[in-house]
Chain A
Amino acid sequence: EVQLVQSGAEVKAPGESLKISCKASGYSFTTYWIGWVRQMPGTGLEWMGIIYPGDSDTRYSPSFQGQVTISADKSISTAYLQWSSLKVSDTAMYFCARRYTTSSGYCFDSWGQGTLVTVSS
């Protein structure tokens, strides 16, 4: 069974750094892209970026380029999303999800449970 288990909720002050994780199991971690999706309070889903753990090839949404860093450690089947200096506006739920290739595109077929990040002074 494919599982993505994310790290727990975080409460941080503005300006602090943060790294959240997404541990994969039940499939070959290095052969599927893992994406990160933001959901701000009361709003919809926004794709942030995606990484291929096999070679760490990473792509970012223009909206998030330079704002976050996505990485992966294939030795422990874990993907990461990190901030160097959090803002209040980073307060949101963050999901990791496995990308599945379809006949004409891509979907996200398995999702982590989400990590709530709260940034407040």
Chain B
Amino acid sequence: QSVLTQPPSVSGAPGQRVTISCTGSSSNIGAGYDVHWYQQLPGTAPKLLIYSNNNRPSGVPDRFSGSKSGTSASLAITGLQAEDEADYYCQSYDSSLSASYVFGAGTKVTVL
């Protein structure tokens, strides 16, 4: 059971907007720790997609955006494209678990 809670799956048609939620608690997201998002394409390593809640590394399209409020965060994908079909994971830091780096269980995005 993951410390951060994500929906198992979301789907959308090409061009649509989808959002993925990530819910934590007062010892991680609610404690003020940053939330980061990773994209894992099938058969590949995870790739940092959003860091520090809403920042994109160089090369990440601006179709991807992040936000954080209270004990939750969200990843939004606007103008959904076929190549966005992947697993997405949120990650934060938790001060209550031996200083752990915690991940959500992942959300599968399907492009219809």
Contacts and interface: CB of A to CB of B under 8 A. Distances in A.
Given A105-B92, A107-B51, A47 B34 contact: no
A57 B70 CA distance: 33
Main secondary structure of the interface of A (DSSP, over half): strand
B51 A44 contact: no
Interface in A22-73: 35, 37, 43-47, 50, 59-62
A104 B33 contact: yes
Interface in A76-121: 95, 97, 100, 102-114
Contacts of A110: 48
A106 B101 contact: yes
A102 B34 contact: yes
A109 B100 contact: no
A97 B38 CA distance: 12
A103 B33 CA distance: 9
B62 to A, nearest CB: 19
7 contacts: A50-B101, A59-B98, A59-B99, A61-B100, A97-B46, A102-B34, A107-B34
Interface of B: 2, 32-34, 36, 38, 44-48, 51-52, 57, 87, 89, 91-93, 97-106
Given A44-B89, A104-B52, 9 more contacts: A44-B87, A44-B103, A50-B101, A59-B99, A60-B98, A106-B93, A108-B36, A108-B46, A111-B46
